[in-house]
Structure 1
Amino acid sequence: METTFTRRAALGTALAAVGSSALGLAPLNSLRPTARPDPSSERVGGAASVVRAFSLRGQVSCALMDPETGAVLDAYAPEMELPPASVTKALTAAYGLQKLGRDFQFLTSLSLQGRVTNGTLLGDIILTGSADPTLHTDDLVNFAKALQKTGVKAVKGRLLIVDNGFPYLREIDNGQLPQANYNPAIAGVNLNLNRVQFEWARQAGGGYDLTMSAPGRIYRPKIPSIGMRVEERNGPSYGYQHTPEREQWSVQRSALGKDAGRWLPARNPRRYAGEAFQVICAEMGIELPSPTIVQGQHPEAVLAVTIAQKKSPPYHEIAKSMLKLSTNLTAEVIGLTASRAPNLRQSAEALSQFAQAHGMRGAVVDHSGLSDQSRLTAGGLAMFMAWQHRNGLADLLKPKILRHKGKPMAGVDLRVKTGTLNFVSSLSGYLTYQGKSLGFAILTADLAQRGKVKGRENPPGVKGWEARSRSLQYALLREWLGHLR
């Protein structure tokens, strides 16, 4: 059996060989004959002809690897460093598998400390989180029902929201627009992916009824500390001000149309969850005080009696959903939980070190890929996929249909993670045919154009560029299928 040291050396040597051939020093070791590349060109193997045919504006880097042998079968500029976007989540998912395990579960609990006299709790109610990314308003309803069964109708004490020392992030990436709900806060208690529902209804006189709520299946608690006002202005569409006690939004009147709603990020997530629970309890006839945030562990929690718990689904289900829906909050929670680092910078460094130990080249600055400051190589990413092939990552990736002329290609199993930022598009995963699998990575970007439109929603030209990049990526996969037949 091949040792870990030997396998790693083989993979590294293979990629190094591609780097040399990309400079015209030697042809690739491909399963099909390839012409010797021009010494002045970085085009190598079958991928070169596909990239040349598309002439995509910007940069293209790709690599194809055999996980069984470590051989690089095809590549184009494999050492070019580009932003991976949400393909970063594949690294994070593998990291969580190793550090947390398939069956790991997040736990949120509701406890009482004190005694109950004539329906009044003389003490504290404690909601303790572990950063569960699946916590939902309906879970708070279940907690409120458990509290109702104790006979408590009022509290002479505190409602404590305890984060158990989990790092608090006001946002993942400070380069995003304020209304970007995919750039939420992260904390030890996360409700509804830390998104608040903003709804507006036009009044007869031309004004609007505005609500900010945490909707569930039955209850839609309004959140007192998150406000919204309509303003007459030329722009921007949304404005935001933040304090530890209150979040104040404003919206451009012309941005509102008919009655509708949208999710906005909640940047005080622990207060958001605490107020949602407070309002739900009030609707059930239980009066609670406003929430008090406890950073770290509550020193007297050992004296409390747990009356309800919510366990998350097992890790492998959470990771699979995260990869399918590309939820940034879930990725950051997984990474921070797995690393146990005190902040995002150190946690991202730990993820980078893990990935580098398994073939990755470059480094990431978060766990979700939301920042465009991460830089990876397609060669290193394909190598990482090769290493993770037997570790269960393929089972977590989203299945996709590979088509040719609009028709599904029979016998092909494609598992991928996609990534998209403005003028950045990436694709990585496994291409399988008749039981034989190959790991691949494709990174594309027009960094010059991205720099011109940064901070804009849906900038002109981005949809067309992304569509052309996707077409290039799937053309490469069809080309690479020849290595499996």
Structure 2
Amino acid sequence: MSNLLTRRAMLAATAAGLGNVALAQAPLRSLRPEARAAAASSGVKSAITAASVVGAHKLSGHVGCALVDPLNGKILDQHFPELQLPPASVTKAITAAFGLQNLGPKYCFETRLHVVGKVSEGLLRGDLMLIGSADPTLHTDDLVRFAKALHKTGIRRVEGRLLVVDDGFAYLREIDHNQLPQANYNPAVSGFNLNLNRVQFEWERRANGRYDVSMHAPGHIYRPQIHSIQMQTVARSSPSYTYAHSTSGERWSVQRSALGKDGGRWLPTRNPRLYAGEAFQGICAEMGLIMPSPTVLHERYDKPAAAVEIARKSSKPYTEITRSMLKMSTNLTAEVIGLTASDAPNLERSVAALTRFAEAHGMVVRLLDHSGLSDRSRLSAGGLARFMAWQYRNGLPDLLKHKVLRDRGKPIPDVQLRAKTGTLNFVSTMSGYLTHEGQTLGFAILTADLERRARAQGSERPRGAKSWEARSRSLQHAVLRNWLKYLG
């Protein structure tokens, strides 16, 4: 139990973390918890507590939960609220609030195409510059629009360089190094994030049993082939995939017997800037535009005086991107938001800024990323519920996905549930807001069987994980139904 903090340690850490911090936009009263041991003491009719519901479900592992009134900070119900457990993707809710505070609801990511040099009879004697700002929504179709804009200028050939400039944005080869290499939810992060930094691996079985394989960056019209990412099929018993990385290319191998007949799947790319540049080069080639292989520049971009902008893509505003990120639980988008909001040069310093933000809201946390992908991150249900109470008036509820609270399979009428869930193998979490008859409460429910998770390391689909998660979700909804007695 070395990962579980005691109450004394938690309170000491909270005091240390909050000693010199001024909190903005506080609730009506202090958020220091006024715990109520049982529902009966609060005047609520039923005396069944969260502890009773958790005990009845007999879920293996650990459970921590807390219910907080955001108007006064009172804890209305709790069960091991200080237990430190992995938050999984609930971390994204903290990151969303962090970005909302530092970037604002209207912030947009921009990608630009600049020309530097002279054009004569369709020949550009100079450089073409593709400049990124880490837009997590950049798609192959956006590069098609850039290529069409370039074609309209009359340029047909570039004599200089095709520069891919990431504006000095932090580069991560992967989010969490403990994941399997083929996990496409664990891609690289950079100033260019084309197709969520995923490449489409496709295979077709020939009559002799061999395979034709290819890598693409598919769009709705063009699907340029990516030659710097190569795949080899190998006859072996395990592992399913292997990966080798270099700055000039990526080398994959796949277990031949795992492929079947014909098919495809997304794989993560680790050279995302080169990937974006090569995709753009391929699209241009299909339009009859000849240009050199891309050159990656990792530096802050100051627009040269002679540069001419010929195309620009602005993303949707922050609130729309973040709603999608929370709904789809997109790890790359969470990492981009956190790194952009902190303006830090690397993941460690960015996560440190996110940690300070969480601590300023009364939490005791250990965060390893902005997305919750690492199972080494830790926080408590009590701290997370208090954080939700703090953020009640700061716009976070409007970003969270609307979910349905059910009883015996049927939706419960007139109840609004806005929440972020998180799932790792043998980890299941939920946090957000429960609303009924005009009253809203903040909550957090964390569950984890860390022993079974440790035994399942290295397995993409460990036995028993899916059924354990289903039991955890059943427990979470039972706790939420029980908490309805505090509303209305």
TM-score (norm 2): 0.93
Matched, 1:438 2:450: no
Distance 1:11 1:307, change over 3 A: same
Matched, 1:32 2:44: yes
Matched, 1:289 2:301: no
Residues 29 and 73 in structure 1, CA contact (< 8 A), matched pair in contact too:
no
Residues 385 and 439 in structure 1, CA contact (< 8 A), matched pair in contact too:
yes
Give the 3-state SS of the residue equivalent to 1:173 in structure 2: coil
Within 5 Å, give how 1:451-466 maps onto structure 2: 451-466=454-469
Residues 84 and 426 in structure 1, CA contact (< 8 A), matched pair in contact too:
yes
Match of 1:38 in 2: none
Residues 423 and 449 in structure 1, CA contact (< 8 A), matched pair in contact too:
yes
Give the 3-state SS of the residue equivalent to 1:415 in structure 2: strand
Match of 1:40 in 2: none
Of 313, 321, 325 in structure 2, the residue corresponding to residue 322 of structure 1 is 325
> In structure 2, what residue type is equivalent to 1:245?
S
Within 5 Å, give how 1:171-320 maps onto structure 2: 171-298=174-301, 301-320=304-323
Distance (whole Å) between structure 2 residues aligned to residue 103 and residue 299 of structure 1: 24
Residues 97 and 396 in structure 2, CA contact (< 8 A), matched pair in contact too:
yes
Give the 3-state SS of the residue equivalent to 2:186 in structure 1: coil
Distance (whole Å) between structure 1 residues aligned to residue 303 and residue 334 of structure 2: 32
Segments of structure 2 that go 5 or more residues without pairing to the other structure are 1-22
The Cα shift of 1:258 comes to 2.2
Give the 3-state SS of the residue equivalent to 1:123 in structure 2: strand
Residues 25 and 394 in structure 2, CA contact (< 8 A), matched pair in contact too:
no
Matched, 1:97 2:109: no
Give the 3-state SS of the residue equivalent to 1:389 in structure 2: helix
Query: CA deviation digits over 1:362-418, x for unaligned, max 9?
Result: 221110000011101000000000011111111111111111111110100000100
Match of 1:69 in 2: 72
Distance (whole Å) between structure 2 residues aligned to residue 137 and residue 302 of structure 1: 29
Distance 1:116 1:173, change over 3 A: same
Query: CA deviation digits over 1:436-474, x for unaligned, max 9?
Result: 111000000001111111121110111111110010000
Residues 233 and 253 in structure 2, CA contact (< 8 A), matched pair in contact too:
yes
Distance 1:119 1:452, change over 3 A: same
Query: CA deviation digits over 1:350-373, x for unaligned, max 9?
Result: 111111112222221110000011
Match of 1:11 in 2: 31
Question: Which region of structure 1 is more displaced relative to structure 2, 257-266 or 330-339?
Answer: 257-266
Matched, 1:385 2:381: no
Distance (whole Å) between structure 1 residues aligned to residue 308 and residue 93 of structure 2: 39
Distance (whole Å) between structure 2 residues aligned to residue 62 and residue 71 of structure 1: 14
Query: CA deviation digits over 1:32-73, x for unaligned, max 9?
Result: 2677xxxxxxxxx61011011011100000000111121111
> In structure 1, what residue type is equivalent to 2:70?
P
Within 5 Å, give how 1:409-420 maps onto structure 2: 409-420=412-423
Give the 3-state SS of the residue equivalent to 2:59 in structure 1: coil
Give the 3-state SS of the residue equivalent to 2:31 in structure 1: helix
Give the 3-state SS of the residue equivalent to 2:73 in structure 1: coil
The Cα shift of 1:248 comes to 0.7
Give the 3-state SS of the residue equivalent to 1:362 in structure 2: coil
Residues 359 and 387 in structure 1, CA contact (< 8 A), matched pair in contact too:
no
Give the 3-state SS of the residue equivalent to 2:248 in structure 1: coil
Distance (whole Å) between structure 2 residues aligned to residue 7 and residue 395 of structure 1: 17
Distance (whole Å) between structure 2 residues aligned to residue 29 and residue 137 of structure 1: 59
Give the 3-state SS of the residue equivalent to 1:306 in structure 2: strand
